[in-house]
Amino acid sequence: MSKSKLKLIVSDLHLSSGHFSPDGSRNILEEFYYDHPFVEWLEYYDNGPFAKSEIELVLNGDILNHLAVFPEEPGADLLTEKNSIERTEAILAGHPKFFEALKTFAKKPNRSVVYLMGNHDLGVAWPKVQQILKNQIHPNLKFFLKGYEVDHLYIEHGNNFLPDNRIDTDNLFLTRGEPEPVLKMPWGSFFVIHFMNPLKKERPYIGKVYPFQMYLKWALIHDTFFAFKTIAHLIAYFLKLNFVRDPKRNFSLKDSWNILRDFSFPFHLNKAAKKILFGKPHIRFVSFGHTHHPVYLQFASGKEYINTGSWNELIGLDVGNLGQQLRFTFAEVFYDEAGEFRASLKEWKGSYREVVEIP
C-alpha cells in the first residue's frame, strides 16, 4: 500500500488499577480486561498494511478511570494533584502491556498520540499527571482538555453536552477553603464514587445494564430486597448531597432534580453532533465517545458523525439488544494522497483465542 495518512479514534476504555487488588482478591471496579486485544489492534496498524502510513492515535477520553482507584481511602471523592498522580501510577502498574504497546507505537516514525480528557480521567488536567503519561508513552504526547479540531474534524469526549457530567474546563480547580487545590468534579463523578461503586461490590453488573429503568422494574420483582435497599441508599445519597454543605459539591436540589429529570440511558449525542456539523460549515466529521454505544450517522453529504462506543462489556435488556455485548469499536479516518478523507466506524475482531478470561 502506498504511503497514506490515518487517524484512529478510540474512547471509554476505563482502565483502573488492574484485575486484582493488592490483597489478591478480584478488583470489582476494574472494567478493562482487554489489554491483549488492544495490543493486537495497535500492532495491526503499526506493522500491517499501514506500516508506512502516517498514523495519529486519538485517545478520546475516559481511557483512565481515576474514579475507580483507591475507593476505600479517605478523600476518595477528591482529585488533588497528589492523589491523581498516585491513581495514575496505580493504573500504569495495573496495565503494563497496554502502556508498553502505546510506547512502542508512539516511538516509531510517522506516529503520534493525542489524549483528550473525559469525565472519568479528570486527573489528566494536572500538569504532573500529563508528564507521567508523557514519560510512559512519549514526550510528544499531546493533551486537550476541551475539543480537538483538525483537518475539518472535530473530536471531543462528549460529557459536556449532558448535564450530569458537564465540566467547566475554564474553571477546573477549587482553591478557596481547601488545604491544597482540588479538581471540581461534576455531579456524575460524585454519583459514581458514592453510589455506583459501592453497588458494584454487591452486583458487579449494575453499571453495565441498560436501559436502567427496565433493570429497576426487573429488580423490584426478582431482587426485591436489593432494589428497596438501593432506593433507600439513593434517597439518603441525595439528601446528603443537597443538604450537607461541602464546597466540593456545589449542587443545589434544583440541579439534582434537573439532572434526574433529563437522565436516560442509553443516552445519545446525535443532536450535539448535528449542531456542530451545521453550525461550523468547515467541519465535515464529528466524533464523540461517552455514551458507550457505537453510532455512525450521515446527516448530509460531507456531514458525518461517529460515536466510538466503548471497549467495556454491556448488558442489554431491550429486545433489539438483548444480552451481553462486547465490541472493540473505533473510528478510522483514512486520507488519500489528495488529502480527502473517509471516516468509518470499525470493530476490531482480533485473532482467534481458544481461552479468554471472563471478568
Which cell numbers hold the place of 88? 495514575
Confidence of residue 1 (pLDDT cuts 50, 70, 90): very low
The fold of 5-185+267-348 is Purple Acid Phosphatase; chain A, domain 2 (3.60.21)
CA pair distance 190, 2, nearest whole angstrom: 49
Sign of the alpha-carbon torsion through 286, 54, 42, 106: negative
CA pair distance 318, 329, nearest whole angstrom: 21
Contact criterion met (CB below 8 Å) for 16 and 30: yes
User: Model-level pTM?
Assistant: 0.92
| DSSP label at residue 80 | B
For residue 181, cis peptide bond before it (omega within 30 degrees of 0):
no
pLDDT in tens, 174-233: 887 677 899 999 998 988 998 899 999 899 988 888 877 788 889 999 999 999 998 898
Confidence of residue 81 (pLDDT cuts 50, 70, 90): very high
CA pair distance 24, 19, nearest whole angstrom: 9
CA pair distance 316, 230, nearest whole angstrom: 21
Sign of the alpha-carbon torsion through 65, 243, 256, 238: positive
Domain boundaries, given as residue ranges, for the chain: 5-185+267-348
CA pair distance 196, 96, nearest whole angstrom: 27
